[in-house]
């Protein structure tokens, strides 16, 4: 559980920024999305292998030429 204490004289905006950063580093949103619905072991395995295929396909692609700014 992410929590932030507001320091003396600190604005709400800066405390909110710190809270958002803490939530991102602890991957709370990612975890909540993962547990939003039930997925069987077979479905998880299929998803994992599909993501691995996608990752490998991306690695095998030839690098794109870099455009120079003029």
Over the stretch 19-70, which tens digit does the pLDDT of each residue have? 999 999 999 988 898 889 898 999 999 999 999 999 999 999 887 777 777 5
Q: What is the predicted pLDDT for the residue at 68?
A: 76
For the residues 1-12, what does the mean pLDDT come to?
90
Q: What is the predicted pLDDT for the residue at 70?
A: 59
Cα separations in angstroms, 31 against 1, 23, 24, 25, 64: 12, 11, 11, 12, 34
pLDDT in tens, 16-32: 999 999 999 999 988 89
Q: Are 2 and 26 in contact (CB under 8 A)?
A: yes
Q: Are 19 and 6 in contact (CB under 8 A)?
A: no
């Amino acid at each position: 559980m992410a929590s932030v204490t507001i320091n003396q004289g600190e604005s709400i905006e800066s405390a909110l920024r710190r809270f958002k950063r803490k939530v991102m580093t602890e991957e709370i949103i990612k975890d909540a999305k993962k547990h939003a619905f039930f997925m069987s072991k077979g479905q998880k395995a299929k998803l994992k292998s599909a993501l691995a295929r996608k990752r490998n396909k991306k690695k095998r692609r030839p690098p794109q030429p870099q455009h120079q700014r003029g």
